[in-house]
Structure 1
Amino acid sequence: MKQKSRWALAVLLVGAGVLYVWGLGASGWANSYYSAAVQAGSQSWKAFFFGASDAANAITVDKTPASLWPMVLSVRLFGLNSWAVLVPQALMGVATVALVHASVRRLAGPWAGLLAGAVMALTPVAVLMFRFNNPDALLVLLLTAAGYCVVRAQERGATRWLVLAGAAIGFAFLAKMLQAFLVLPGFALVYLLTAPVAVRRRVGQLLLAGAAMVAAAGWWLLAVALVPASQRPYIGGSQGNSVLELALGYNGIGRLNGGDYGGLGNLNQQAGWLRLFDTEAGGQISWLLPAALALLVAATWHTRRAPRTDPTRAALWVWGSWLVVTGLVFSLMQGIFHAYYTVALAPAIAALTGMGAAVLWERGARRLLAMVVAGTAVWSYALLARTADWNAWLGTAVLVAGLGAALAMLLTRRVAAVVAVAVAACLAGPAAYAVDTAATPHTGAIPTAGPSTGGGFGRPAGAAGRFRDGGGDGSGGPGGAFQPPGGGRPFRQGGGMRGGGMGGLLNAGTPSAELTTLLRTGGSACTWAAATVGSNNAAGYQLASGLPVMAVGGFNGTDPAPTLEGFQRYVADNKICYFVGTGMGGFGGRGPGGSPAGSPSGTGGSDDAARIAAWVRQTFTATTVGGVTVFDLTQS
């Protein structure tokens, strides 16, 4: 039996690896914003440490840099290419599947562990993010490791496992800041209530774990604080060059209340209790979300007479608290929300599905399991109906198989066959979305999994298409033309760079060969080959030329980095060769709310980028290179 379970685990992990790696290079640079920072880190250890977006260290990305580090090390080993950037994410995905399996298997048995691992591997948004270079892959891996460690710690009241959990959460902070702390209240409370040691010892252990968390997150923050601002890059995403401001403001409280000044504002007005089930997020994560919640409640009820320290119930609460707290925050947050954030719910849903099903099965609660299977089939049918023109037969097949399996669970004793059909029916919908996700290249800042349902940022309701930037030649490679929802002519960004959408806010484009040659030859004499407004515009030029390009104003042009006076000093010292007039309306004055014209309204932040662009236009002569407006800053 043990040998069979090992082979089954090997099949699961190999299958997950194939799903996450197959055709990975088709996504090109994926999110060019982070790929450019990876490129910078591969050229400069200083840029590596701070997470700078260019090797000359003008400004950082708007996150702490830990998620960049594995990709940078990969690029330093294998060279700069799509695979070197993206494969570390895929390996993190396989490791996450293994951790979910291991956690569930310890307490619920091999088949429950395999079920949980399969749910994790096939969750559409997980397939998306483990094939992409946003910070979420490392965040999810570290939080899953923390959950596993808490489960291990609770079994015997083991201090070292709890300290490891704290360290994992602290390091997760360095991947995506305050989102990592959403699991803290539940983890701490479950351990405090259920650990099999004295109360005083539990409190002391939690304090030690908290100290480990602070140390794991704080060492980098302390290092940044100790380095003079003049000796490091500007902290992107902040208005005061402060990591704490970035963590607590733009990436913290601002995400909850919509007050993320300098950001994009509240682009999603669908905050509410049902957000995770709507057309934007539903197909990404919610396939087994109702089942996980139902199994959590049912399994808790069936273990109500177990001792306080019962490890199985405690583990259910560890994963359940993760799901409930994080799910509520995602549902109700008023600031920036994108559907791919929900990948942070996938390990909890997977673990609860495996453990909850095992608890009910062991206690003979077939009727409850049948209801869960039937409900999952009905919800899968509803989700698949949102893409009626995509494999229309699948929804009907899932509904018939699921309801049939649920009925058979009540009427027949042929357990193995019935269970196999039930599991297949419950996983068919997410598996189909997962395969579709893996088969389609994704680029840009806001990718989505599976076929389009017409919801989400940048897509008009009812549109058939999704935020996938395709190559200009139809290859789906980096920096190609942005394909608008519903087909038709691609949006093409002004200034000779193709792709990106929203004027370069959401993705980089590919500059012409003529402009690339100019930057490589004429720009090599300067610290920065060029400067341009907005990080994604800069990323496109930097990835093409291989030379540092200054992102004036950071991600969306609203950071005060550099100031006009600072930029003028750089120009006077011949540190910037060219200014490229692409994107973000940098030459069009100010838009509503103090943002550069052409950027989202109401974002606030600094106007230095617009002032710099205006000064360049008034001071230097414009030329056209490959259809792009370029200013030679070395010629006054």
Structure 2
Amino acid sequence: MTAPAPASSAPVPAAARHAAPPARAHAGAPRWARPGFWAVLALAAVLYTWALGSNGHANDYYAAAILSGTRSWKAFFFGALDAGSFITVDKPPLALWVMGLSARVFGFGTWSMLLPQAAAGVAAVAAVHSAVRRSLPGTAGHAAALVAALVMTLTPITVAINRDNNPDTVLVLLLVLAGWLCLEAVRDGRTRTLVASAVMVGLAFNTKMLQAYLVVPALALVYLAAAPGTVPRRFGRLLAAGAALVASSGWWMLVVDLWPAADRPYIGGSTDNSVWDLVVGYNGLGRIFGGSGRGGGGGGFGGESGAERLFNDVMAGQISWLLPFAVLALVCGLVLATGRARPVAAPPSAEAPVGAPPPAREDSGARRDLPGARAALLLWGGWLAVHYAVFSFSSGTFHPYYTTAMAPAVAALTGLGGVLMWRAHRRARAWAWALPAGIAVTGAWAFTVLRRTPEFVPWLAWAVAAASAAAAVGLVAARIGPRVRLRIAAAALATGLAAGLAGPAAYALTPLGSPVNGTNPTAGPAGSGGFGGMRGAGGTPDGTRGGLSGGTRPEPSEGTPGRPAQGTPGQAPQDAAGAGTRPEGMRGGPGGAMSEQLIAYLKANRGGAAWLLAVGGAQSASSVILSTGLPVIAMGGFTGSDPAMTVERLQGLVSAGELRYVMPGGGRGGPGGGSGGSEVDAWVQANCAAVDPAEYGGQDSAQDGAQDSARDGARSSLYRCG
């Protein structure tokens, strides 16, 4: 008999006491883990790219800036709406850079612009899978990761936004990478890993400004509570990460605000032509508190603010399907992962000395691998709590697609907490209620949401309710008899998972059936997406979507961005300027598309001017930029109320021959009819010559001419200023 090796008396390192080592990707992985992972990624790729070419320019506002960035590196750097760099979009440019670089390499078009977005969405799913898998070792980690990735993939609002060119897709990927790195920093204790996490948040700030900081409280508190080392050392590392966060967030803002204002575009969305004002006002406090159109006044996109906002008729089908389960999973998971390991007598060993006490082993419900799960639960739980509070109670502009930032937390909590509840259900009678209760509540809520639009797959609500009830009963019954109870429980668990994902999956499929609503992308049937909501499969007989006025969008005609006539799939036919044309009914946002006759007139009479035209607001400018590829001034920016154009600046542009035609007003509202000031309108009317609509074919006597006049001149008139 060999003597057992003596126990080491060396002290246990601090890192080993605080965190478990991460599970390796394929060491001891179950046979289904890798095929399951790739199957989920394939599903995500299909959902995010199917019929992507039908989306045309998606959001015209951002598409115009991307096109302009392919014509001018200056416009590219600043994120200018037009290639002449008169005014920027109202967001920082990092997401535009990603799409713009693709458009520079492959040529501007639907696929070159939107495929990077879809790829970012798939990458975010993979990152969530990795973060969850590394939080629990062994089969449990792989199972939790697979569930989390599937939930993330099928979140309806995430499917919708990943098919659009809004910046939220890139934002989510960067934030998930920040969370992944933070959890790694908790495990390895390295300062550089935490600093890298902070840099990811800083890059996210340069994608959508202060919304990126909603994850900072969760990241910082989790590191402070769970990372190895003494508390002073943790604070020191957090200070280093804070410095990295400030540097990676502020470098672009600092460069732009130090750049001479006369040599750069006006900062769209600001009141004083500074990025700082844009951060604090329009994209900061204005989003939370609203007020005077500076980030406010649009709360109706997601319904009234309050604790129930994410569960109302507008928001419920976009993000809330698994919110109740995620909260229950968080609470139960923290309780299960926080309990101390209790010594339990192990079976006596044949080699143990006679009379020796049996060795102790840890209770299966409180293993030493749970500190990693506890840190992950705290991170994703804090992430979810902060986003819920801000999104629910903010009074400023709130779009449903903002909630895609909640999807990683909901997915991770569902996977981690669900697996921990499953383990507890099998091993402890005291926890036999948790998982059945979660499945029952999820099924009841899904039934409620689906019955709000009873014409949408009418049988699905009843099937979900029946399957959820059967799963809950099966899990409870599996605790009664000792025989075959594992098979019953496994079958009930699979049924409950299918029932919980059936509603989100049905909603997630609808964006694949018709063009995206670029300014307010949502998923689901008619009536489920709020103002600007979409009509998907089952919403109407023809499968069209609701427009901004609640009507339906006509099917795109042959040869438009929505239905390409020939060439590369999804690539719009291009005119001599290289940009696809867009007919009425295919706009990516509010505002007017001008008639082809008027655009042809402007191009023919432009002369040597740098800008083709100056209009009141960005939506009209975007339409012309996309149909001509030429610079157009949006005097009032996106809202129509930016004070970007002054009389002095307009006089200088006209006298220098850089601008010949002005169409004041016609924006989305704001002072001066959308031109940024009534003085500009008055100067144009007093010093420029009104153009007779007959010069560009806008004859009031003909039916077509009447339509042209209504579209081009009812709210604004064209003036020749040079």
After TM superposition, the score normalised by the length of structure 1 is 0.89
Written as runs of structure 1 = structure 2, the 5 A alignment for 1:422-461 is: 422-453=496-527, 456-457=530-531
**Alignment-mate amino acid for residue 565 of structure 1:** E
Separation in structure 1 between the aligned mates of residue 156 and residue 122 of structure 2, nearest angstrom: 14
Separation in structure 2 between the aligned mates of residue 245 and residue 101 of structure 1, nearest angstrom: 38
**Alignment-mate amino acid for residue 441 of structure 2:** G
Aligned residues: 600
Written as runs of structure 1 = structure 2, the 5 A alignment for 1:583-602 is: 583-584=666-667, 595-597=671-673
User: Is 2:54 the counterpart of 1:26?
Assistant: yes
Report what 1:142 is aligned to.
174
Report what 2:404 is aligned to.
343
Separation in structure 1 between the aligned mates of residue 474 and residue 60 of structure 2, nearest angstrom: 50
User: Is 2:338 the counterpart of 1:251?
Assistant: no
Deviates more, 1:563-572 or 1:238-247: 563-572
- Aligned-pair identity (%): 44
User: Is 2:306 the counterpart of 1:223?
Assistant: no
**Alignment-mate amino acid for residue 322 of structure 2:** L
Q: CA RMSD in A?
A: 2.5
The answer to whether the Cα contact below 8 Å between 2:75 and 2:85 also exists between their aligned partners in 1 is yes
Written as runs of structure 1 = structure 2, the 5 A alignment for 1:134-533 is: 134-259=166-291, 261-268=293-300, 270-306=304-340, 310-364=371-425, 365-412=431-478, 413=485, 414=487, 415-453=489-527, 456-457=530-531, 466-467=546-547, 474=556, 498-499=584-585, 506-507=589-590, 509-523=592-606, 525-533=608-616
Partner of 1:317, secondary structure, is helix
Separation in structure 1 between the aligned mates of residue 57 and residue 340 of structure 2, nearest angstrom: 51
Deviation at 1:582, TM superposition (A): 6.7
Deviation at 1:500, TM superposition (A): 8.0
Deviates more, 1:194-203 or 1:534-543: 194-203
Distance 1:260 1:191, change over 3 A: farther
Separation in structure 2 between the aligned mates of residue 387 and residue 564 of structure 1, nearest angstrom: 52
Deviates more, 1:183-192 or 1:299-308: 299-308
Residue segments in structure 1 that go unaligned for 5+ positions in a row: 481-495, 586-590, 600-606
User: Is 2:103 the counterpart of 1:60?
Assistant: no
The answer to whether the Cα contact below 8 Å between 2:289 and 2:296 also exists between their aligned partners in 1 is no
Deviation at 1:419, TM superposition (A): 2.1
Report what 1:483 is aligned to.
none
Deviates more, 1:155-164 or 1:21-30: 155-164
Partner of 1:334, secondary structure, is coil
Partner of 2:465, secondary structure, is helix
Distance 1:140 1:306, change over 3 A: farther
> What is the CA deviation profile of residues 248-269 of structure 1, one whole-angstrom value per residue up to 9, with x for unaligned ones?
0111011111136544525436
Separation in structure 2 between the aligned mates of residue 146 and residue 444 of structure 1, nearest angstrom: 27
Residue segments in structure 2 that go unaligned for 5+ positions in a row: 1-28, 342-367, 426-430, 479-484, 564-581, 699-707
Partner of 2:514, secondary structure, is coil
Report what 2:576 is aligned to.
none
Distance 1:306 1:326, change over 3 A: farther
Separation in structure 1 between the aligned mates of residue 149 and residue 615 of structure 2, nearest angstrom: 45
Deviation at 1:159, TM superposition (A): 1.7
Partner of 1:445, secondary structure, is coil
Q: Find 1:560's aligned residue among 643, 646, 649.
A: 643
Deviation at 1:410, TM superposition (A): 1.4
Deviation at 1:296, TM superposition (A): 0.2
Deviation at 1:299, TM superposition (A): 0.8
> What is the CA deviation profile of residues 541-570 of structure 1, one whole-angstrom value per residue up to 9, with x for unaligned ones?
010011000001111211111112211221
Separation in structure 2 between the aligned mates of residue 189 and residue 524 of structure 1, nearest angstrom: 60
Deviates more, 1:253-262 or 1:297-306: 253-262
Separation in structure 2 between the aligned mates of residue 512 and residue 48 of structure 1, nearest angstrom: 28
Distance 1:434 1:577, change over 3 A: same
Report what 1:623 is aligned to.
692
Distance 1:521 1:292, change over 3 A: same
**Alignment-mate amino acid for residue 583 of structure 1:** G
The answer to whether the Cα contact below 8 Å between 2:645 and 2:676 also exists between their aligned partners in 1 is yes
The answer to whether the Cα contact below 8 Å between 1:103 and 1:148 also exists between their aligned partners in 2 is yes
Deviation at 1:633, TM superposition (A): 2.7
Separation in structure 2 between the aligned mates of residue 596 and residue 322 of structure 1, nearest angstrom: 42
The answer to whether the Cα contact below 8 Å between 1:255 and 1:334 also exists between their aligned partners in 2 is yes
Separation in structure 2 between the aligned mates of residue 155 and residue 125 of structure 1, nearest angstrom: 32
Separation in structure 1 between the aligned mates of residue 34 and residue 607 of structure 2, nearest angstrom: 55
Deviation at 1:160, TM superposition (A): 2.0
Highest CA radius of gyration, 1 or 2? 2
> What is the CA deviation profile of residues 33-89 of structure 1, one whole-angstrom value per residue up to 9, with x for unaligned ones?
000000111111111111000010000001111110111001001111111111111
Q: Find 2:627's aligned residue among 517, 523, 544.
A: 544
Distance 1:450 1:48, change over 3 A: same
The answer to whether the Cα contact below 8 Å between 1:66 and 1:175 also exists between their aligned partners in 2 is yes
**Alignment-mate amino acid for residue 376 of structure 1:** T
Deviation at 1:520, TM superposition (A): 3.4
Distance 1:213 1:275, change over 3 A: same
Separation in structure 2 between the aligned mates of residue 479 and residue 560 of structure 1, nearest angstrom: 35
Separation in structure 1 between the aligned mates of residue 218 and residue 386 of structure 2, nearest angstrom: 8
The answer to whether the Cα contact below 8 Å between 2:527 and 2:533 also exists between their aligned partners in 1 is no
Separation in structure 2 between the aligned mates of residue 94 and residue 458 of structure 1, nearest angstrom: 26
User: Is 2:142 the counterpart of 1:76?
Assistant: no
Separation in structure 2 between the aligned mates of residue 302 and residue 3 of structure 1, nearest angstrom: 27
Distance 1:473 1:406, change over 3 A: closer
Distance 1:440 1:472, change over 3 A: closer
Report what 1:110 is aligned to.
142
The answer to whether the Cα contact below 8 Å between 1:281 and 1:339 also exists between their aligned partners in 2 is yes
Deviation at 1:596, TM superposition (A): 4.4
Report what 1:588 is aligned to.
none
**Alignment-mate amino acid for residue 397 of structure 1:** A
Distance 1:470 1:74, change over 3 A: farther
After TM superposition, the score normalised by the length of structure 2 is 0.79
Report what 1:604 is aligned to.
none
**Alignment-mate amino acid for residue 58 of structure 1:** F
Deviation at 1:472, TM superposition (A): 5.2
**Alignment-mate amino acid for residue 264 of structure 2:** R
Report what 1:90 is aligned to.
118
Separation in structure 2 between the aligned mates of residue 453 and residue 160 of structure 1, nearest angstrom: 48
Separation in structure 2 between the aligned mates of residue 72 and residue 154 of structure 1, nearest angstrom: 36
Separation in structure 2 between the aligned mates of residue 583 and residue 296 of structure 1, nearest angstrom: 50
Separation in structure 1 between the aligned mates of residue 372 and residue 624 of structure 2, nearest angstrom: 54
The answer to whether the Cα contact below 8 Å between 1:500 and 1:507 also exists between their aligned partners in 2 is no
**Alignment-mate amino acid for residue 101 of structure 1:** H
Deviation at 1:478, TM superposition (A): 6.0
Partner of 1:164, secondary structure, is helix
The answer to whether the Cα contact below 8 Å between 1:249 and 1:260 also exists between their aligned partners in 2 is no
